[in-house]
Chain A
Amino acid sequence: MAAITSDAEIEVRRPRRSVVAGVLLVVWVAAYFLLRGIDTLALGGQDTTALHRWLTEHRDDVGQGNVLFDAIRIAVGNFVVLLQDLISQPSFDRPVPVIGWLGVVALAAYGAWAFGNWKVAVLTAAGFGFIGMQGLWQESMDTLSLTIAAVLLSLLVAIPLGIWAGLSDRAFKVATLVLDLMQTLPTFVYLAPLTLFFAIGPAAATIATLIYAAPPAVRLTAHAIRSVPPASVEAARSLGSTHGQTLTKVLLPMSRSTVVVGINQTIMAALSMVTVAALIDAPGLGQTVLKALRTLDVGVAFNAGLAIVVLAIVLDRVTTAAGDRPWRTANLRRRILLGAGAVGVLVAIWFSRTYVWAAEFPADGTLGARIATITSSVTNWVQDVFGGFTYGLRDAVTNGLLNPFEALLTGSPWWLVTAVVVALAAVLGGWRATVPAVVCTGLLVATGLWADSMVTLASTLLATVVVVAVGIALGVWAGRNHRVDVWIRPLLDAGQTMPPFVYLVPFLALFGSSRFTAIAAAVVFAVPVTTKIVADGIKAVPVATVEAANSVGSSSWQVISKVQLPVARRAITLAVNQGLIYVLSMVVCGGLVGAGALGYDVSAGFVQNELYGKGLAAGLAIVLLGVLLDRVTQAAARRTQNYQGSNRNRSRGDKR
């Protein structure tokens, strides 16, 4: 389709579709006033349906005493313990681990230098030093052991799967579907069933982490292999290469840097899972965070959260540098240097095995205590100063926007909401949206949690609107101004990796336990990803285009609204979509601060035996909401834009 005709089509079509959608909404509101209270399918907090009870009763049928699962658990457990013995826990009848802090720092810095460059080596040493100074050395090494184990095991599964999906179209389609599901599934949901198969402890925590962390690596490996220019493959074939040779000599080397990006994303995902996995006894920083929150000690929680962020930044920069490094054999001088460095590392490891000062980090944690104190005072100050105002804000937003919207969703008969959703999907996204809308709403009714789903949907949509507004504003600013970009990147990184549990407590103090608190937390969590994608999109707008607009005397506002935003439309659609998914993945955490509904159901199912089945159903309902929103927004976006080939649409995983 030529660009010009499709643009013309949009001009004609867009008003018509929005008018139809508007009419639909008006009809809905009118019908709500006539029909409210009928067929709302509300279900009390402790009440369950037959499906929930069935799930609860059959929970033991699969899990207990299965030889295969036991074997996996023991194998994974031993692997994690081995890593812990190496770097974190006293082992082999010694009061210290096999490699003390000096050895670990030397080894990590050397690795960063060998695979990346000297800059990231310095960053690595500094980052690890900072963590040690915080007084969190052992906890961090426990977290690192678990992360390494989970990432290595993920890659063992994900890379072959990714290659397969890269080579076969059918595998690609199946993988995309499954990965979409996996990424919307709230982590809490599979923690409970996992403990059935793999009990509790480091092994189960590692398995939970690897499930959460594998998808990006699969996606990006597949994506990388599919993006190798066909010409290169054909050239190799014509020279007589077999399939295997083509794969190892052409496809893999050429896709290496993208695969490394996948590994990077897998590491990030693993780190963000660490606090949640602490709930099933994952060792490390997650424990510190959870324990601090039990005594409402925001300072200590922040201190530990900061250690996670530092680990994340180090690992991120090292893998990024490793991805950028060209794939070539080292020259002689570098080989000599590498050899010398290796000797240095061995010396450092020997020291850390022999002397106490090199084995146990010689810091008393004063830095950590100081960070904790400062954080606590800042938090208290903010609470004291803004306390009254924030309650007012909460009540205004809740009563003015959230409650009416929620009433419309929960008070209307389920069949009316379903009809409106399906009709909207059809108008906005065509059949690509209609089919998922029908299936998802149907299954939502079947879960028995319709009313709770609607409460969650109301909060999710409101949070997403805020996320998109803030994300676009920040993203445009950062995309147009390099200095702003440099300054807000680390903040965005922190927003994404800082465990949400840490900022839930200050938010509780500011807003009390309410749905609004959950919305605020979701906004903090989702704004970074939206901002990053928008900023990248704005930056990708060709300089010539912007110059042309400037030269005809357009104001900044005109350049933004008439040139940059329309050209970056695809990135913005992706940003909206990802913002939605991120908001939705915070729903469970929202349940912990008073948002109730599905998030509460899921966490109740995790901790209460009688509610196990209901929790599972609630998890499924969150996934269904995710798939519904994802499919409708994507289909709507596709119909709005000129169609540029669907594979770019699938690059969602890249941005995580």
Chain B
Amino acid sequence: MKRLRYAGVLTAVALAVAGCGGQKIADDKPAAAGKDCGTFNLTVSPWVGYEANAAVVSYVATKELGCKVVKKNLAEQVAWQGFATGEVDVNLENWGHEDLKKKYITEDKVAVEAGSTGVAGVIGWYVPPWMAAKYPDITDWKNLNKYAALFKTSESGGKGQLLDGDPSYVTNDEALVKNLALNYKVVQSGSETALIQSFRDAEKNKRPLLAYFYEPQWFFNEVKLVKINLPKWTPGCDAVPAKVACDYPPYDLDKIVSKKFADSGSPAYDLVKRFKWTNEDQNTIARMIAVDKLTPDQAAEKWVKDNQPKVNTWLGR
């Protein structure tokens, strides 16, 4: 009996809504997709700074050029595989990776470089601001051994702890600790999430922390971390990984696109090629996404409104 009633209710509901109608889908055609631009696949690497790049490029490509942008959330090195299969057309922020350039650009010829993003990458060791204020000389690496006891944790086996990040990051830290004779142990936190959470907690509860970190990073807008000065980087001082005893080099982050995309003659390729901005620009959007919780599109829209001249140069106007 209950089943019968259920079917009855269903029919009644169906008949009722049949009467009321509403806006039809045919009235709601999609915005005319640009015929000359088409679709491209954009990889989105797992940090918010990259997401800011992706947000603004995809916003401009969609709104100004009528392209369809498909975003793919992928780990940085995994994404390179996509150039060969057509899964990925554009990488907007590449951190070095000479080995991958050699494989995919020089050997397999499936990808090409598309110039600098204008963003300067910095890698190094950082402490939370309260520590730099309390122990001003801590920012010199020579004093790190003096403070090693402060950084002791349950994980560091009696030495000071140097916290490292995501396994995909470029790091020389184990060699550095050894070659600079520091009384520290490198402990792997395993993810960017873990690093940021550790810094957040360290600043809030005034706990000591020494960890690997990098710029540009939206988190600097929340906590102004202080960089430790390691022995100055000179060209070639990091040539042999096991013997590194100097700071990380400055990175000029660049763009990589698939060969197919570069040859397609799409206006989107010209946009990607001309796309260039600053750390400040990137952090502005990253902050809107990470802290103000805007969607990437909303954040990009806001930024583009304030920076129309810059966008115009990307569009070649």
Chain A residues at the B interface, C-beta cutoff of 8 Å: 44-46, 64, 90, 93-96, 106, 113, 118, 121, 195, 199-201, 278-281, 287, 290-291, 293-297, 334, 337, 340-341, 344, 347-348, 351, 353-359, 387-388, 394-395, 398-399, 403, 504-505, 508-509, 512-516, 591-596, 599-600, 603-604, 606-611
Cβ B30 vs Cβ A199 within 8 A: no
7 contacts between A and B (CB under 8 A): A118-B6, A200-B74, A201-B87, A344-B11, A509-B200, A513-B187, A594-B190
Instruction: Name the one of B11, B187, B197 contacting A340, with C-beta atoms under 8 angstroms.
Output: B11
Cβ A281 vs Cβ B23 within 8 A: no
Q: What is the minimal beta-carbon distance from A340 to any residue of chain B, in angstroms? A: 5
Cβ A609 vs Cβ B28 within 8 A: no
Q: What is the minimal beta-carbon distance from A323 to any residue of chain B, in angstroms? A: 20
What residues on A are CB-neighbors of B18 within 8 Å?
347, 351
What residues on B are CB-neighbors of A95 within 8 Å?
25, 28-30
What residues on B are CB-neighbors of A354 within 8 Å?
24-25
Cβ B163 vs Cβ A513 within 8 A: yes
Q: Which 4 A-B pairs have the closest CB atoms?
A: A604-B167, A607-B168, A398-B154, A513-B189
Known contacts A287-B73, A297-B293, A609-B99; A516 and B154 CB within 8 A of each other: yes
Cβ B23 vs Cβ A355 within 8 A: yes
Cβ B22 vs Cβ A610 within 8 A: no
What residues on A are CB-neighbors of B168 within 8 Å?
604, 607-608
What residues on A are CB-neighbors of B133 within 8 Å?
none
| Residue B193 interfacial (CB < 8 Å) | yes
What residues on B are CB-neighbors of A121 within 8 Å?
6
| Chain B interface size range | 35 or more
What residues on A are CB-neighbors of B186 within 8 Å?
45
Cβ B14 vs Cβ A513 within 8 A: no
A387 to B23, CA, bound (A): 53
What residues on B are CB-neighbors of A90 within 8 Å?
30
What residues on B are CB-neighbors of A281 within 8 Å?
72-74, 87
Cβ B155 vs Cβ A594 within 8 A: yes
What residues on B are CB-neighbors of A355 within 8 Å?
21-25
Tell me the B153-172 residues at the A interface (CB within 8 Å). Answer: 153-155, 157, 163, 166-168, 171
Tell me the B2-43 residues at the A interface (CB within 8 Å). Answer: 2-4, 6-7, 10-11, 14, 17-18, 21-25, 27-30
| Residue B75 interfacial (CB < 8 Å) | yes
A239 to B191, CA, bound (A): 65
A500 to B198, CA, bound (A): 19
What residues on B are CB-neighbors of A359 within 8 Å?
25
| Residue B196 interfacial (CB < 8 Å) | yes
Among residues of B, the one whose C-beta sits closest to the C-beta of A63 is B81
Q: What is the minimal beta-carbon distance from B196 to any residue of chain A, in angstroms? A: 6
Chain B residues at the A interface, C-beta cutoff of 8 Å: 2-4, 6-7, 10-11, 14, 17-18, 21-25, 27-30, 46-48, 51, 72-79, 81-82, 84-85, 87-88, 99-100, 153-155, 157, 163, 166-168, 171, 174-175, 186-198, 200-201, 205, 218, 241, 289-290, 293
A403 to B153, CA, bound (A): 12
Known contacts A45-B174, A95-B30, A195-B81; A513 and B25 CB within 8 A of each other: no
What residues on A are CB-neighbors of B218 within 8 Å?
295
What residues on A are CB-neighbors of B87 within 8 Å?
199-201, 281
Cβ A295 vs Cβ B290 within 8 A: yes
Cβ B23 vs Cβ A357 within 8 A: yes
Q: What is the minimal beta-carbon distance from A509 to any residue of chain B, in angstroms? A: 6
Q: Is the interface of A mostly helix, strand, loop or mixed?
A: helix
Instruction: Name the one of A113, A337, A340, A508 contacting B194, with C-beta atoms under 8 angstroms.
Output: A508
Q: What is the minimal beta-carbon distance from A386 to any residue of chain B, in angstroms? A: 12
Q: What is the minimal beta-carbon distance from B22 to any residue of chain A, in angstroms? A: 5
A64 to B192, CA, bound (A): 31
Cβ B188 vs Cβ A596 within 8 A: yes
What residues on A are CB-neighbors of B175 within 8 Å?
46
Cβ B3 vs Cβ A337 within 8 A: yes
Cβ B25 vs Cβ A278 within 8 A: no
Q: What is the minimal beta-carbon distance from A554 to any residue of chain B, in angstroms? A: 44
What residues on B are CB-neighbors of A278 within 8 Å?
73
Q: What is the minimal beta-carbon distance from A571 to any residue of chain B, in angstroms? A: 35
What residues on B are CB-neighbors of A113 within 8 Å?
3, 6
A84 to B25, CA, bound (A): 19
A395 to B152, CA, bound (A): 11
Cβ A508 vs Cβ B197 within 8 A: yes
Cβ B85 vs Cβ A596 within 8 A: no
Known contacts A337-B7, A347-B18; A592 and B190 CB within 8 A of each other: yes
Among residues of A, the one whose C-beta sits closest to the C-beta of B193 is A293
Cβ A514 vs Cβ B75 within 8 A: no
Cβ B28 vs Cβ A46 within 8 A: no
Known contacts A94-B25, A355-B24; A600 and B154 CB within 8 A of each other: no
Cβ B6 vs Cβ A513 within 8 A: no
Cβ B25 vs Cβ A356 within 8 A: yes
Among residues of A, the one whose C-beta sits closest to the C-beta of B155 is A514
What residues on B are CB-neighbors of A341 within 8 Å?
7, 10
What residues on A are CB-neighbors of B10 within 8 Å?
106, 341, 344
Q: What is the minimal beta-carbon distance from B217 to any residue of chain A, in angstroms? A: 12
Cβ B48 vs Cβ A294 within 8 A: yes
What residues on A are CB-neighbors of B99 within 8 Å?
609-610
Among residues of B, the one whose C-beta sits closest to the C-beta of A353 is B25
A112 to B90, CA, bound (A): 43
Cβ A356 vs Cβ B22 within 8 A: yes
Q: What is the minimal beta-carbon distance from B238 to any residue of chain A, in angstroms? A: 14
A200 to B86, CA, bound (A): 10
Cβ B82 vs Cβ A199 within 8 A: yes
Q: What is the minimal beta-carbon distance from A207 to any residue of chain B, in angstroms? A: 14
A241 to B302, CA, bound (A): 75
Cβ B174 vs Cβ A46 within 8 A: yes
Cβ B6 vs Cβ A603 within 8 A: no
Q: A113-B6, A340-B7, A508-B197 are in contact. List 8 more A-B contacts (CB 8 A).
A: A118-B6, A200-B72, A279-B78, A291-B73, A344-B14, A591-B188, A592-B193, A604-B167
A607 to B77, CA, bound (A): 6
Among residues of B, the one whose C-beta sits closest to the C-beta of A399 is B154
A195 to B74, CA, bound (A): 12
What residues on A are CB-neighbors of B28 within 8 Å?
95, 356
Known contacts A200-B78, A341-B10, A344-B14; A600 and B190 CB within 8 A of each other: yes
Q: What is the minimal beta-carbon distance from A455 to any residue of chain B, in angstroms? A: 11
What residues on A are CB-neighbors of B167 within 8 Å?
591, 600, 603-604, 606-608, 611
Q: What is the minimal beta-carbon distance from A576 to any residue of chain B, in angstroms? A: 27
What residues on A are CB-neighbors of B3 within 8 Å?
113, 118, 334, 337
Known contacts A199-B82, A337-B3, A353-B25; A607 and B14 CB within 8 A of each other: no
Known contacts A344-B7, A512-B153, A594-B187; A357 and B73 CB within 8 A of each other: no
What residues on B are CB-neighbors of A337 within 8 Å?
3-4, 7
Instruction: Name the one of A295, A340, A399, A606 contacting B289, with C-beta atoms under 8 angstroms.
Output: A295
A337 to B8, CA, bound (A): 9
Cβ A593 vs Cβ B189 within 8 A: yes
Cβ A46 vs Cβ B241 within 8 A: yes
Instruction: Name the one of B6, B78, B154 contacting A514, with C-beta atoms under 8 angstroms.
Output: B154
Q: Give the interface centre of B3, B46, B88, B293 by most chain A CB atoms within 10 Å.
A: B3
Cβ A357 vs Cβ B154 within 8 A: no
A340 to B100, CA, bound (A): 60
A337 to B290, CA, bound (A): 52
Q: What is the minimal beta-carbon distance from B176 to any residue of chain A, in angstroms? A: 12
Instruction: Name the one of B11, B81, B196, B293 contacting A199, with C-beta atoms under 8 angstroms.
Output: B81
Cβ A513 vs Cβ B194 within 8 A: yes
Cβ A593 vs Cβ B6 within 8 A: no
Cβ B85 vs Cβ A199 within 8 A: yes
A359 to B30, CA, bound (A): 14
Known contacts A118-B2, A281-B87, A508-B197; A607 and B7 CB within 8 A of each other: no
Cβ A395 vs Cβ B85 within 8 A: no
A596 to B165, CA, bound (A): 11
What residues on A are CB-neighbors of B85 within 8 Å?
199-201
Instruction: Name the one of A46, A118, A358, A591 contacting B190, with C-beta atoms under 8 angstroms.
Output: A591
A505 to B100, CA, bound (A): 31
Q: What is the minimal beta-carbon distance from A597 to any residue of chain B, in angstroms? A: 9
